[in-house]
Structure 1
Amino acid sequence: MVTETLEGQEIAAGVTLRTLARSDAPALAAAYAENREHLRPWDPVRPESFYTAEGQAERIEGLLRQFAGGTLVPWLFEASDGRIAGAINLTDIVRGPFCSSSLGYWVAADQQNRGLASAAVERVCAIARDTLGLHRVQASTRVDNAGSQRVLEKCGFEPIGLAPNYLHINGEWRDSRLFQRVLHDNAPAL
């Protein structure tokens, strides 16, 4: 289980990867509000409260409870000016014979094409392997999200299938391409 924080590991010029904190609610609400249209095609429909500091504070509390329970690890991309430039999470961490997790991320519109997602995915996969001892990480993208598919393939993820009507995104059930990256072949810890 990872319950310690990850502080200030630079993943690109002027951008660090660090663990989500309670104090991030106002900055995260601002980042989501600023990137609302940019993220709309890839996100579920969000209530208006999602774009407020109060809504993010409530959401962060839930994420940090899962973090403390060892089923999720939440990170942020933080620009040198303190703005949130994106986020990446390992969710649904399962131990035992499955020994796997799901990966999700987003990058702010003004931070695109800088290699942030690729650098963060590589760092998070290393943590999943070396610290969490996970065997594999899986991810999904909408079938038309070529950018995320390029990131995943660049980072060693392999396509493993198509999931029809997989996620309710932007108001409709959407098909997704599924990917996985096998991290090691060691037996799971008992």
Structure 2
Amino acid sequence: MTTVPDAVRIRSATSDDAAALAAALLRNRAYMRPWEPHRSEAYYTPEGQAARLGDGARRWFAVVEGPEGPEGSEESEGPGSEVIVGAATLSGIALGPFRSGSLGYWVDGDHAGRGLATALVEEVCRAAREELGLHRIEAGTLLHNHASQRVLAKCGFERIGTAPRYLHIDGDWRDHHLFQRILHDDPPPAL
């Protein structure tokens, strides 16, 4: 089990997090550019994030409370004085006989390399099994994103293939390594 770094806690997202999430994404825009699709300006606004938070995906945030936030962060984000320093999203959730979801995650550039992504991914896997009853989770990384591949390996994901021109990232269709983690082999509930 991964321990969450000191001063950081992981919690489920709420609709009240739109402004904090927009601030975190704006703060990390340049840092995440090589790993992300091109985004509209509206994406980086509280309104844009409010729409995303209402899209039916499940989200978890890593937050730092009080003055521990990233350097230069003056905004008071979210409930209290929390600053979002990472997020994980489980989308494309399919139930029935498939019982699967697609994982995405990121960590603030000022908090990278501290085990936070691993803790976020582990929390998503726990919730996917215990709360959603999913059988598996899938994830994809750019071929050269070795840091993300290490996170997935630490969390029990196995590489299952490579998808050519899989996602449009940073202005071009990019190949991705695909990974999955089988959470359990229990049968799904009867349909």
The two structures have a TM-score, normalised by structure 1, of 0.87
- C-alpha distance in structure 2 between counterparts of 1:56 and 1:16, whole Å: 21
Tell me which of 61, 66, 85 is aligned to 1:76: 61
Alignment of 1:24-63 (within 5 A): 24-62=17-55
Residue 180 of structure 1 is matched in structure 2 by: 180
2:80 is the counterpart of 1:95: no
How far has the Cα of 1:29 moved from its partner?
1.2
How far has the Cα of 1:76 moved from its partner?
1.1
- C-alpha distance in structure 2 between counterparts of 1:136 and 1:179, whole Å: 10
1:160-186 Cα offsets, whole Å, 9 max, x none, are 000000001111100000000111111
- C-alpha distance in structure 1 between counterparts of 2:18 and 2:126, whole Å: 27
- Where 2:97 maps in the other structure, the secondary structure is coil
Please identify, of 179-188 and 121-130, the stretch whose mean Cα deviation from structure 2 is larger: 121-130
Pair 60,130 (structure 1): closer, same or farther in 2 beyond 3 Å: closer
Residue 157 of structure 2 is matched in structure 1 by: 157
Q: Sequence identity, in percent?
A: 52
Q: Which of structure 1's runs of 4+ aligned residues deviate more than 2 A?
A: 57-62
How far has the Cα of 1:57 moved from its partner?
2.2
The residue type paired with residue 182 of structure 2 is V
Residue 79 of structure 2 is matched in structure 1 by: none
Tell me which of 12, 15, 39 is aligned to 1:19: 12
Unaligned 5+ segments in structure 1 are 1-9, 67-71
2:113 is the counterpart of 1:113: yes
The residue type paired with residue 104 of structure 2 is G
- Where 2:160 maps in the other structure, the secondary structure is strand
